[in-house]
Structure 1
């Protein structure tokens, strides 16, 4: 589930790096994934090395020349780190500023005071609401790095189950990413099938609300019984080591965290209202609302509203930034290697193989769209790749559809694109590392949650298709 697939999808499709047939490609995919899982689970190989070896094994089984397989992996790793790595780093800096200044404490203490009055029962609902609002204009990765410090601190400080708090937050982010414009997948799918953006947004919210409730607060009860882990100490923003004379207020702290959200939402609104790539105002907001600029602005503003407000000197600010980057080095490399594996899958022609198989399927359009998106999601790991590929394939089916059914076609594709995130998805590794889980625990929580979102959303889409 990565935001950097947008540019990749805009490019013309490239020739596969192998001439392997469908049977050989299918075996290669299974073999590549099996190598990764075995290396991590049985031989305890670090995930970065396992993903690297698994990518090369995939290329070898698919009959790709070794130099081209290496090039595919390094290209995918590089583009993932370039697109996601900087955002993770900026998010880590902002999180450290929040923690060291006492701003994160202020947020957590306020949330605990409000939701804690219910004996903790309202906490999962509070987390899913916060994640859904923040996740509306944000790429999934950005939402994760902004929310994780709060999730971990609430779980630790309030002595809550990490899964009981974390799953609702992840569900809120994921549902927004897959179903609701202005996320890139839904937007491009809307364009591909010529759906109405306003109708799609309205129906998307209608589907998203019950879906996020079922996959978030309700499923988190089960997930907490399946996986009982403590928040990883290395990822928890610590209370300031020394007593601060003062700490930022709740309002200014929340405003600082929401600054990138507002900037990106403003860009999305301008894109919708102006709808002219050559217009000056849209070009300005394309820059202002880019994730890089938005998060960078939040970090710079946070140095004053958080750091200086807590009495930090210039040297202390510099030290805070430096210390924020060390813990995320491992996460960054694992996520990058996941991107390399995904790119290798795409370059050997797995996505095209799935599209070829799907051409002869004779089933209802909404279910067909969902199944195609599911197959591409499982093969490539990218929700956005799955959304765009499936939308392009089923777009002719929308020609005779009503406005509401064309919108439901977009939502069916989006739902399929979220199905069962596993080892070839960068989001899988982000969740695993941030929450301190092993591969099996990540599958039982994150992967199952994604599957629930996908299936439940499809159910509501099909239900709406009967009444609209």
Structure 2
């Protein structure tokens, strides 16, 4: 059994080296990891191929459409100018808060349909203008935005990471993950906002005069209301929330795939004048297929790992099961820090953790959701120079590398530490009452 655990560690080391040092395509790295682990476990070529294929198909068919529709929504919101309208709308509604928290919550909401790196680029000029108008430092506003975007990106579907983890851990209730992940990401986002407000620079509320200047300088003319601009996000939520009350014969109409399909249709309607449908499909496929491939290959790795009886081995270790929710975090944080990609950290961690769920008492729907949140928090701990998001934040905020380390990187560490503490307390409370 010790050899089997060593083989898993060797596989993890390969994934880290392949991504961070050799700079290989993550899909290729995980594919080779599957083969490497299969060979180390003395599996036949037929069994290795069979496991990779089965795992890949199993995960891809669960999340493929979800990721594809999510990507369409994100692209359309960007092209239609809806992201800017949502941002202005939130500033109006939350003008009683310090601007740091408003920007932070804008990031939290926008990152539900838009990938965090793309969203930061889209909102960078907007955040710089706010910084100039309110006379706050750019780094304060930038970190408030980056932490808000990051929290949602690693915790809330339909972003790829949480969906991949849900597929790998065989979580069927995606809406439960959306609700729990959304609430948890909201608090983690505010932790990032608090860090920016208290440890970088304290900001004040935005004045009505500055708000008018900001609105007048919008690059997108207001052609839609806040509710319409945000409808591709909230309408799918409403549809999924109806699942418990609709008859079982038509519950497919409240499934996550159908809900996001409706969201995608609405978003296409909003952007129909801004991007041709054929071009939209090509861009969406270009962005979604690599992610689906990586997550699917993570399913293949998970299938190979199932050949190891990790449950009996870990069950014999005194005190190990009491760590429960901490282990997924530690694995994910180690992978994130070592190789940089949050998605790869989530996919790999979920594949490793799945056989251990019963040991930790996390093999029910709520337990799997908590495990995914633990993996998600780990995958944001920490963002530094081997993370593409780190460079997006640095370059589009105008911060040098040293400043980005002292602000953005430390802020993600702050979020990660407080996030796992909060999650551990929740886990212990649930265990106590059960």
Using the size of structure 2 for normalisation, the TM-score is 0.63
Q: Is the 8 A contact 1:415 1:458 kept in 2?
A: no
Aligned to 2:238: 262
Aligned to 1:355: 311
- Comparing 257-266 with 294-303, which one deviates more in the overlay? 294-303
Q: Is the 8 A contact 1:420 1:451 kept in 2?
A: no
Q: Which ranges of structure 2 fall in alignment gaps of 5 or more residues?
A: 129-137, 198-218, 336-345, 394-404
SS, match of residue 45 in structure 1: coil
In the alignment of these two chains, the number of paired residues is: 366
The verdict on how the C-alpha distance between 1:435 and 1:30 changes in structure 2, with shifts beyond 3 A counting, is same
Aligned to 2:266: 301
In structure 1, which of residues 126, 129, 153 is the aligned counterpart of residue 122 of structure 2? 153
Aligned to 1:278: none
The verdict on how the C-alpha distance between 1:130 and 1:371 changes in structure 2, with shifts beyond 3 A counting, is closer
Displacement of 1:37: 1.4
The verdict on how the C-alpha distance between 1:415 and 1:448 changes in structure 2, with shifts beyond 3 A counting, is farther
Partners of 2:26 and 2:72 in 1: how far apart? 24
Displacement of 1:34: 1.2
Q: Is the 8 A contact 1:420 1:450 kept in 2?
A: no
Partners of 1:69 and 1:424 in 2: how far apart? 28
Are residues 1:218 and 2:174 paired?
no
Are residues 1:337 and 2:272 paired?
no
Partners of 1:382 and 1:348 in 2: how far apart? 12
In structure 2, which of residues 23, 27, 33 is the aligned counterpart of residue 54 of structure 1? 33
Using the size of structure 1 for normalisation, the TM-score is 0.59
SS, match of residue 67 in structure 2: helix
Q: How does 1:425-464 map to 2 (within 5 A)?
A: 449=415, 452-462=418-428
Displacement of 1:130: 3.9
Q: Is the 8 A contact 1:87 1:291 kept in 2?
A: yes
SS, match of residue 36 in structure 2: helix
Displacement of 1:148: 7.2
The verdict on how the C-alpha distance between 1:102 and 1:49 changes in structure 2, with shifts beyond 3 A counting, is same
Q: Which ranges of structure 1 fall in alignment gaps of 5 or more residues?
A: 1-21, 135-142, 191-199, 225-242, 275-280, 397-408
Partners of 1:125 and 1:424 in 2: how far apart? 19
Q: Is the 8 A contact 2:30 2:301 kept in 1?
A: no
Are residues 1:346 and 2:303 paired?
yes
Are residues 1:324 and 2:283 paired?
yes
Are residues 1:110 and 2:89 paired?
yes
Aligned to 1:171: 151
Displacement of 1:343: 2.7
Aligned to 2:227: 251
Displacement of 1:389: 5.6
The verdict on how the C-alpha distance between 1:188 and 1:385 changes in structure 2, with shifts beyond 3 A counting, is farther
Aligned to 1:235: none
